[in-house]
Structure 1
Amino acid sequence: MEIFIHPDDVAQTKDMFEKALHEGVAESTYRYRTSIGDYVWIESTLKSVHFEEDGSKKVIIVSRNITDRKLTEQKLQEANQLLNQLSYLDGLTGIANRRYFDETLDKAWTNSSISHTPITLIMFDIDYFKKYNDTYGHLTGDFCLQSIAQAINNQMAVNSHYTLCRYGGEEFALISPSTTMEEGMKIAYQIQETIKLLKIPHISSDIADIVTLSIGFATMVPTTLEKPQALIQMADSALYLSKTKGRNTISSSHLSMEGL
């Protein structure tokens, strides 16, 4: 019979027989090869029967083909996986959304706390984006957001430990574990230059004729006494500083310089 059982299911079918012999009843699902070489899913119930005449034990097997049910379950599982993936994506830009940001930052914070390594959070948004929408329309504004997200995502794809998210509206965030303040400054500069190279027209901007970014970032070595919100507040304060300095610039949180 083993030659008809899928190789990955042979061990469990043997266990199924042993269980039926020792415990009386067993159930299992496995793949069975048909006469034309295809595999179908089989669900079997086994029951051991004791024959008093000769003292022997035999196993009675009742089986049914459950291939259709398995295929339906597989499709449902794939659909659920897709829905789960989509629940972490921003519908407009296709990058990670705020929910994914929150969960990823929590995990990165915990890992950095355990390893005593720095974590950097970079926050940035588009300068005078409301004026951009008013001038070019919301559809063009959406395309601008998509272009910026795609450009930065492509740039950061070379390093898998970066996580780029749409934080909300025209604001984005980049989580970068094991990153010092000096390294964070380099990443922030790369982000700024990447968007400048896109040369997206912005005639209503007060500081340039193309789309620019204001960037703020902070770096911390987490402790058990602090929560990720502390890093968010520091990066957000640095972003606010960039805006008060005239936009199209990069600022860092002074507190994050301690010990780094």
Structure 2
Amino acid sequence: MNKEMMRRFEYAHQKRNTDPNLCLTEGQAIVDEGKRLNDYDMIAHGEYLISHGMFQIGHMNDVLKYSMSAAAFFEKSDNYIMHLRCTNMLGIGYSAKGQHTLSLQCYKEAYYVAKKRRMYKMYDLLENNIGSEYANLEANETAVRYLKKVYHRMKHRTNVDNTLYMVVLYNLADCYAKLEEYEKAEYYLQVSDEIVKETQDANERGMLALLHARVAYFTGREEEGNRYADELNHFLQNMIIRNFEILGDVERIALHQISIGEFERANVLSDYLTECAKMSEQSSHAALAYRVHAYYYEKIDDKEKSIQYFRLLDEEMRRMTVQERKFQLQLDQEREKANERIAQLRNEMEKQVIFQSRDGLTGLLNRAGFSAIMNSYIEQAKTQQVPVGCIFIDVDHFKEYNDTYGHVNGDACLEKISDVCLKIEKHKERLHFARFGGDEILGMMIGYREKDVVQTACEVAKGVKELNIPHSFEKETGRVSISLGVINQIPEDDMDLLGFMKCLDKTLYESKAQGRNCIHVLHTESGSYECIEVESL
């Protein structure tokens, strides 16, 4: 992604919560430029911006579509910040659609990435989001544990993000209100009030009014609840961008107001719910508005209109079920497209590495090329839970060959052995050979069964045997031979290239200990070794 596009992305990202149109237009421009340049990283950045814009205008299906596509790309890249951002945005989208289990899963995945990469600055946000989703799943005590951990960290800091701090306090007060521990809820509301006085932020003041109204109403303080409800109504009527996250709370307050006869106040909230439902075209939002209308008309004894709205509510609930099925199919298709894009990009990246990283003598990959592709294979294998296969090839008594026949013939010998490897490589996908150093050659494969990796090693050994290159030092065969170590395993989460090489080096040591000119296979499940004599092939 070039500097100009990155500058435009960062500017739009800063405005994501206040200017949805900027996110949508700039996001689409970045996607279009990425498609023109065949730059998938740029496309994913643009999709992430679009998902933010879609969230602000209430198009939750599109939030999931774009954030899922971007998250799928960044999951396979080394851009951990963007992977975390997209996964978090996916969680926000699921939460807004009421799919709180999936939302919690996304937040936990993002939190795992943050902890693994020691991205400490993201802990507060993600632990707050996890706590919030536990609250949505009515696991309020678990939610409180997460939220209090964030609260205690933040309250002792001198330089704190007041917006996030307010959200944490709000969520804590909300959890305690649901647990009917109203004194604790009031305490966190009072702390919030002090912060709002300092910041004079209208949005934060409106959010606090909403929660104050809820707590006051549900503790029987109707006059106080009405006062905060009026402040909330003023806030909602003056909002430039609609807040779809608070609709559930707005509905609860409206229903309580209806139950105590505060019809005019309830009608203001009902109008807000209806307006949001029209804007977002989401059945879940329409259902909230219809429910309020239905109970209002039931309360004033207009049975005909009450029945009408209960029927509309039932229709929306049925439509939600159908929409979810359709949307799940759409998501599955998006996942397939994302995976196809990722596979295409991986192949292009491998081709670029291969083109730029050839050994001058043998035509195999050099050590840098081996490291790049092997690291990529290990990360893919962890994600997809498929094995990585490695073949370590060492020419037996190569020093003695050079001493006897000279370095020119030694180089020619290595070229011939490398040609055997290259011919085999041409006929197998995701197989690459590299010159690791001196007379050491490494083969690497991904997604193959163990017997297929062993068969590839046997083909190399048999091909070298058939070259029949004279070597007087080898008394038994009179020709050049090789020793091979083979391993095929799904890497553990903490395994890196160094760990993989240690296992492989051990298999080659075992092979040489058997007398050379053999293939030694480490069976990772049992931890046992198998020795295959090359002369038997």
Q: TM-score range by the shorter chain?
A: 0.5 to 0.7
Q: Is the contact made by 2:395 and 2:439 (CA closer than 8 Å) also made in structure 1?
A: yes
For 2:525 and 2:496, locate their aligned partners in 1 and report how far apart those are by CA, in whole Å: 14
Larger radius of gyration: 2
Deviation of the 1:218 alpha carbon? 1.0
Match of 2:394 among 125, 136, 152: 125
Match of 1:174 in 2: 443
Identity %: 28
CA RMSD of aligned residues (A): 1.9
> Which amino acid in the other structure matches residue 224 of structure 1?
D
Report the Cα distance in structure 1 between the residues aligned to 2:507 and 2:516, rounded to whole angstroms: 12
The counterpart of 1:209, out of the listed 447, 462, 478, is 478
2:494 to 222, 225, 238: 225
Counterpart secondary structure, 1:253: strand
* TM-score, reference length from structure 1: 0.64
Deviation >4 Å, runs of 4+: 83-87
Q: Distance in 2 between matches of 1:257 and 1:221?
A: 14
Instruction: Give the deviation of 1:86 after TM superposition.
Output: 6.7
Q: Which runs of 5+ in 2 are unaligned?
A: 1-351, 528-537
Aligned equivalents of 1:107 and 1:85: distance in 2? 13
Q: Residue by residue, what CA displacement relative to the aligned partner does 1:221-256 show, whole Å, maximum 9, x if unpaired?
A: 023222122221111111111111100001122435
CA contact (8 A) 2:366 2:436 kept: yes
Match of 1:150, as an amino acid? Answer: D
Instruction: Give the aligned partner of residue 367 of structure 2.
Output: 98
Deviation at 1:129, TM superposition (A): 0.5
Structure ranking higher on relative contact order (CA contacts 8 Å, 6+ apart): 1
Pair 1:247-2:516 in alignment: yes
Q: Deviations over 1:186-226 (max 9, x none)?
A: 11111100100111111122442111110001111023222
Match of 2:504 in 1: 235
Give the letter aligned to residue 397 of structure 2: Y
Change (3 A) 1:184 1:253: same
Greater mean deviation of Cα atoms: 162-171 or 201-210: 201-210
Distance in 2 between the 1:206 and 1:257 partners? Answer: 35
Supply the AA of the counterpart residue of 2:507.
Answer: A
Q: Partner of 1:26 in structure 2?
A: none
The 1:85/1:225 distance shift into structure 2, 3 A limit, reads closer
Match of 1:149 among 399, 415, 418: 418
CA contact under 8 A between 1:120 and 1:220: conserved in structure 2? Answer: yes
SS, match of residue 89 in structure 1:
coil
CA-CA distance at 1:257 after TM superposition = 4.7
Q: Is there any run of 5+ residues in structure 1 with no aligned partner, and where?
A: 1-82
- Provide the rounded CA distance (Å) in 1 between the counterparts of 2:362 and 2:511: 24
Local SS of the residue matching 2:442: strand
- Indicate the residue corresponding to 1:184 in structure 2: 453
Per-residue deviation at 1:84? 7.9
- Specify the SS of the correspondent of 2:488: strand
Contact preservation (8 Å) 1:88, 1:96: yes
Name the CA distance, whole Å, in 1 between partners of 2:452 and 2:492: 21
Q: Deviations over 1:67-104 (max 9, x none)?
A: xxxxxxxxxxxxxxxx9877511111111000000000
CA distance in 2, matches of 1:256, 1:147: 35
CA distance, structure 2, for counterparts of residue 85 and residue 176 of structure 1: 14
Name the aligned partner's letter for residue 203 of structure 1. Answer: S
Please identify which structure carries the higher helix content.
2
Counterpart amino acid of 1:138?
A: H
Q: TM-score, normalised by structure 2?
A: 0.32
- How far apart, in 1, do the equivalents of 2:505 and 2:477 lie? 23
Query: After the TM superposition, which residues 60-99 of structure 1 pair with which residues of structure 2 at under 5 Å, given as runs?
Result: 87-99=356-368
Give the letter for the 1:162 counterpart.
L
Note if contact 1:242-1:251 (Cα within 8 Å) is conserved in structure 2. yes
* Contact 1:112 1:119 survives alignment (8 Å): yes
